[in-house]
Chains A and B, each alone.
Chain A
Amino acid sequence: MSLAETPGLVATTGDAGETTLVVEPGDLIEAATYLRDEEGFNFLSDITAVDYLGWGTHGVSGYIGTAAGRDLNTPMTQGYQATPQPKPKRFAMNYHLLAIGPEPRRVRLQAWLDEGEAVPTVIPVWPTADWHEREAWDLMGVAIDGHPNLKRILLDDDWEGHPLRKDYPIGGEPVRFSGEE
């Protein structure tokens, strides 16, 4: 029994002494169940969705909106010391796991998704995933397969778009003033 035997494991990476297990989205439930039951990761700390659109391109993290509306805008200077490593797909779903017990340890379970690709829900494995997955859907637009209550959580129900995506510009929101038609 070891982390290397996780079902569907594609790669093992990690920065600053952390371990990241990359699995295929289709094998996520199997891998999660294995990690919980065999490796003792009984506690799901957090789920983080990351959008890597424009990763390694100058200026992408500095989108600014214009009054005209919501489209890709003029890049700002970013300044890399080196071009970052390319990523396999656009979105990453990160599941931060913790083993509560005499030998505490942490691991990050990671699945890569393309635009429109869905990831299965992990609520049957860790019930705490409920709101985390709703947040990933609400703010990042990652579709969660099999979630029993998948609706917006932090934003209004009629909100358009998913604001944490990199192609969702800040600013440029139309503001209505009194006296205006």
Chain B
Amino acid sequence: MTATAPRTGARAPIYEGTRIPSPIPTVLKTSQDVLDTGDVLTVNFGPNHPSTHGVLRLIVDLYGEDVTGIEAVIGYLHTGFEKNMEQKTWWKCITYPERIDYVSFQNNEYVFVGAVEKLLGLEIPPKAVWMRTLLCELNRIHSHLVWLGTSALELGAISMFWYAFREREMILDLSELVTGYRMHTRYFQVGGLAEDIPRGFWPECRKFCDWMPHAIDDYETLLTRNKIWLERTEGLGLLSADDAIALGQSGPVLRASGVDWDIRRSEPYLAYHQVDFRVPVFPEGDVYARYRVHMQEMRESVRIVEQCLDRLENMEGEPWIADDRKVVLPPRHELHTSMESLIHHFKIVTEGFRVPEGEVYFAIESPRGELGCYICSDGGAKPWRVKFRAPSYVALQATATCMTDALIADMIAIVGSLDTVMGEVDR
């Protein structure tokens, strides 16, 4: 399809050296000689602005149309998730992480559950491993669709928004079919899945996998060679590979800067070492490269979902949760016949299960990059400390570097391309 073939060459080479501001790496300061002209206008962008999709405040120094200084101010959505989680038992905490990044809820849910399982040393049945992989990948498509729809909307391509949200709706329907909820599913339980997978899920998910590549073709027809889109994204928001690593960037932003790095491949978790997928890498480091990475990752995610389906369809009747009575709730039917099961059920529900003393850091590749969860346990039923390494929080730190030499009109395109979710930034 020629309409979706990428344009090659003819782009400015990425800058030499470093552009990270000094001494404060996250604040771009207007130089004194520009200030001396007396023509610098300081504009407060946000915290409530339709284009921020959340509550982000940017303090921007303008010299004509040039952005000469920028500082991001965050914290307007801070709700104290980490403090709250210290007051809850381990198994009640699972509802919190998915609300931190409400767009990639399934991945957030997994990172916490995975960290607890790492500290417990718990073995997960294969059916749960494959289903978790499948849902995490569906969720990646969901997250990228929200990013694509809203980013394109801000740059004037409003039809893109409707198309992206049409497919997003399909994913949420699938989510509802399996878990009972569209978002914030709490379907991952320590030890496996909360419920068995309904049989009706397979044909519906197949239908989605057959449809989605065509939908992505449609998106690319709308955008990839679109003159306006190219003008608004190419060569903007440059970030070199060295600067990206120094600023801790991860995920699509890092891969769009030419660093071939994906935790799913380098430190495989779940079933990622058993599935075949490519990691898209683009060396240009601009907004267009980030767009291309997102599009290709969606295609790869569809392929992973199909491979998971192939495995899962042959696992009918297998257990979906580990058989560890100290951690996992006993099957419901046993409660009526077995005293031990009733005791285990009562102890887990009232006191919660205990996690051995220790501290672990567990990292996964969320749609936004390296999502890490640090947990510290004192051997009791509640976490001593929980900390999330939020990829959006780190991505926003690159704002000052990416906005070097940029125009005010490109600010939304550049900040949007970093793919931040404000709930995750402020936690």
Q: Which residues of A contact B (CB under 8 A)?
A: 15-16, 18, 20, 42-46, 48, 50-52, 55-56, 61-62, 78-82, 84-85, 94, 96, 98, 100, 104, 106, 108, 123, 126-128, 130-131, 139, 148-149, 152-156, 163-164, 170
Contacts and interface: CB of A to CB of B under 8 A. Distances in A.
A20 B359 CA distance: 10
> Considering the complex of A and B, which 10 residue pairs feature the smallest CB-CB distances, nearest first?
A128-B248, A15-B358, A46-B389, A127-B25, A154-B75, A148-B23, A48-B387, A154-B78, A104-B266, A149-B24
A96 B426 CA distance: 20
Given A126-B246, A164-B83, A46 B379 contact: no
Contacts of B248: 43-45, 126, 128
A16 B374 contact: no
B354 interface: yes
Contacts of A80: 354, 378-380
A108 B383 CA distance: 19
For this complex, into which size category does the number of interface residues on chain B fall?
A: 35 or more
16 contacts: A15-B357, A44-B248, A46-B387, A48-B385, A61-B380, A62-B87, A62-B382, A78-B381, A96-B361, A96-B372, A106-B361, A123-B25, A126-B246, A126-B248, A153-B74, A170-B84
B302 interface: no
Interface of B: 20, 23-27, 74-75, 78, 80, 82-84, 86-87, 118-119, 121, 245-248, 259, 261, 266-267, 351, 354, 357-361, 363, 370, 372, 374, 376, 378-385, 387, 389, 393-394, 396-397, 426-427
A84 B379 contact: yes
Contacts of B27: 149
Contacts of A61: 86-87, 378, 380, 382-384
B354 A46 contact: no
A128 B246 contact: yes
B346 to A, nearest CB: 14
Nearest to B72: A131
A37 to B, nearest CB: 13
A43 B358 contact: no
Contacts of B266: 104
B267 to A, nearest CB: 6
A111 to B, nearest CB: 14
B360 A100 contact: no
Contact of B87 (A20, A82, A94, A170): A170
Given A108-B359, A131-B394, 9 more contacts: A45-B370, A55-B378, A61-B383, A81-B379, A106-B267, A149-B26, A149-B27, A154-B78, A155-B75
B380 A45 contact: no
Given A16-B358, A80-B379, A84-B378, A170 B389 contact: no
Contact of A81 (B80, B82, B354, B426): B354
Nearest to B247: A128
Contacts of B394: 128, 131
Contacts of A153: 74-75
A123 B20 CA distance: 12
B330 to A, nearest CB: 20
Contacts of A42: 245-246
